Chains A and B, each alone.
Chain A
Amino acid sequence: GIQVEQSPPDLILQEGANSTLRCNFSDSVNNLQWFHQNPWGQLINLFYIPSGTKQNGRLSATTVATERYSLLYISSSQTTDSGVYFCAVDAGKSTFGDGTTLTVKP
């Protein structure tokens, strides 16, 4: 099946810093989504982005499907951004990466 690799596995930031999370996938995909799992376990959909660039406030995402990667940018990070960020792809079957655990310190 398709392989999904996220990096870095862990990231610690000071409040106000910017960060880039990466998702590499091993085959062509029909769709790609980014999720945030907050410290209470809730999974929130951030972006549906099989290709191109999208922005939502301080967050933006870019997927380069031909090169099989996606990037999630977080600018001016806040403590509420802490949690785990997952990339999920669909190549006939939904597959999640292992996530990037982000800790934003005040």
Chain B
Amino acid sequence: DAGVIQSPRHEVTEMGQEVTLRCKPISGHDYLFWYRQTMMRGLELLIYFNNNVPIDDSGMPEDRFSAKMPNASFSTLKIQPSEPRDSAVYFCASSPLLVNYGYTFGSGTRLTVV
């Protein structure tokens, strides 16, 4: 398996633009997580899905953020409109189960909003 695949690796956008980050989890993994990493706040869980259904989105910072998982092999995290404070590395991770198995992380998307 190629692991968790995220795209793009880097994204530079202007304030106010819409940004879409993409994630392909490992086949057969029922759980998908979106995290954000910043120097100030460390690694934060934004939202996670089980079998394509959002379970906990309490970490989504604002209504400008939305996430979808239309099928078992694809998820998106959208920011509209983007702001400079959204600049961070966004990670996607997947796991076969919530217990007994660790998470496998993707390589992340480094987002810069100017």
Contact = CB atoms under 8 A, between A and B. Distances in A.
Contact of A41 (B89, B93, B99): B89
B42 A98 contact: yes
SS of A interface (majority):
strand
Closest 7 CB pairs of A and B: A45-B102, A48-B102, A43-B105, A96-B43, A94-B45, A33-B102, A98-B42
Interface residues of B, number: 23
Contacts of B105: 35, 42-45
A85 interface: no
A95 B33 CA distance: 12
B100 interface: yes
Chain A, interface size category, equals 20 to 34
Given A93-B56, A94-B33, A96-B42, A48 B108 contact: no
B100 A48 contact: yes
B91 to A, nearest CB: 7
Interface in B1-58: 33, 42-45, 48, 56, 58
Interface string A86-102: 10101001111111000
A47 interface: yes
A93 B43 contact: no
A90 B101 CA distance: 12
A98 B68 CA distance: 28
A31 interface: yes
A41 B45 contact: no
Given A41-B89, A41-B108, A99 B99 contact: no
A35 B107 CA distance: 14
Central interface residue in B43, B89, B103, B105, by most chain A CB within 10 Å: B43
Contact of A99 (B42, B102, B103): B42
